[in-house]
Amino acid sequence: MALSEQERKLLEQLEASLMAEDPKLADTLSGSSSIRIHRRRAALAGLGFIVGVVVLLVGVQVHPAVSVLGFLVMLAAALVGINSWRRVGDDGGGQPSRRPTQGAPRQPTASSQDFMDKLEERWRRRQQGDL
């Protein structure tokens, strides 16, 4: 059943308002989500890695230069696959997982600050001979 002209205009207005209010939801509903692209890229990288292993093994029998080529194909496929897989995780509907860096000092919480204060007080009493 075809839509009338008025219904088409109303549908276009609804789509435009959805895009303005929540572009991420509209992108997901439209089917042009980047998650599919990154999943497909990661799957192709997996196949590329397998091809690289096969070329590496064939190169052992044929010529060492072919083995080096196979290793390079494996390396490139692994890098593409890892980057695509990370983007699938980042775009997967949640907040990207961010781990704190090793060198960055963490802000003490109230409970840990109280604990440290108690330890310092005990240390002072012990130094003064109160314990």
Q: At which residue do the structure tokens 């549908």 appear?
A: 11
Q: Are 59 and 65 in contact (CB under 8 A)?
A: yes
For the chain, give the percent of residues with pLDDT over 70. Answer: 73
Question: Which tens digits make up the pLDDT trace of 82-131?
Answer: 998 887 766 554 444 445 455 556 666 667 778 888 888 888 888 888 75
pTM of full prediction above 0.85: no
Question: Which tens digits make up the pLDDT trace of 64-76?
Answer: 999 999 999 999 9
Q: How far apart are CA 68 and CA 76, in angstroms?
A: 12
- Amino acid sitting at position 115: F
- Amino acid sitting at position 128: Q
